[in-house]
Amino acid sequence: MSIAPRLRRAALAAVLALAGGCGRADVRADAAAEGAITLTDDAGRTVTLPRPARRVVSLVPSANQTLVGLGAAGQLVGRTDFDRGPALDSLPSVGGGLDPNLEKLASLRPDLVIGWETHKPQLRERLAELGIPVFAVKTEDTTDVFRIIRNLGRLTGRAPTADSLATRLRGEIEAVRASVQGLPRPSVLFVVWNDPPMTAGPGTFVMQLIGVAGGKPVFPEVTELWPTVSMEEIVRRQPEVVVVPVGESGTPRFDARSPGWRELKAMRGRGPVLVPAELVNLPGPGVGETARRLRDALHPGRAGR
């Protein structure tokens, strides 16, 4: 979420607890096959590891979830304050993802740190001085989700597992897309924040998943990823469905009875559609489940398919 407002960074830090896939034997097998790894990260930097990383700290919650989904939980040696879940709770925290405690981070002796593409260069430079490579990631759309799965798989010696995970997720997404084929597509407002109103642009992964789920953006023309829009314009456009993520700190305190929102027909009808923030705000291995949840909300008649 490279350009999401800082306010939403906290909201994007919830954790989806996913079960790991492979054991340490798989790591050794994959690592032996790969040897040294050189990749270009999302900050445009070339990162080389002499071998797949064995001790990893990710400052990006969605990357942590991807690593868990790859079965690499045993290679994680730290987490941020925003990471939760059975595979992560017991790990020491290095603080916030944007402002980690460098002394604590270094004490964990990671051989790889996964960072935000938007991290200040000073952080990467300081870690470089400590001999700790940093691989920056940026997730804007679903293409980024699959690229990060592939890259994290290679960096941790789990490339075959990453390929399998990506294949499974693509299958899940296509199954949801097929299930709503031919149905009317309601216009959707995804509420990132309520005051001032902020939504997701068509180029974001969440709006792409809403498209998979059989909806369409009520602001299709915007080019920003996370635009602020006026309440007056929302009322004028009258979205047929209002989707609100709930269930974590940073979730908009949404009151459907407040001025403006209560003028929406969608509010006077079914009310806002509430979806788990810890799922829809994390672009990782939960994208298939996110698409299903959104499909079930937009087209209840197709739920469970």
Q: How many CA atoms lie within 13 A of 189 on its CB side?
A: 27
If you write DSSP's letter for every residue of 249-270 in order, what string do you get? TT-----TTSTTGGG-HHHHTT
Tell me the average pLDDT across 79-104. Answer: 92
Q: In angstroms, what is the C-alpha Rg of the chain?
A: 20
What pLDDT, in 10s, does the model give residues 107-150? 999 999 999 987 777 888 889 899 999 999 999 999 999 999 99
What pLDDT, in 10s, does the model give residues 237-296? 999 999 999 886 556 666 777 889 999 999 888 889 989 888 888 899 999 999 999 999
pLDDT of residue 248: 66
**H/E run at residue 8:** helix 6-11
pLDDT at 93 over 80: yes
Taking the mean position of all CA atoms in its chain, how far away is CA 248?
Answer: 14
Percentage of the chain exceeding pLDDT 90: 68
Give me the chain's average pLDDT, please: 86
Amino acid identity, position 51? R
Instruction: State the chain's maximal CA–CA distance in angstroms.
Output: 61
What pLDDT, in 10s, does the model give residues 57-77? 999 999 999 999 999 999 999
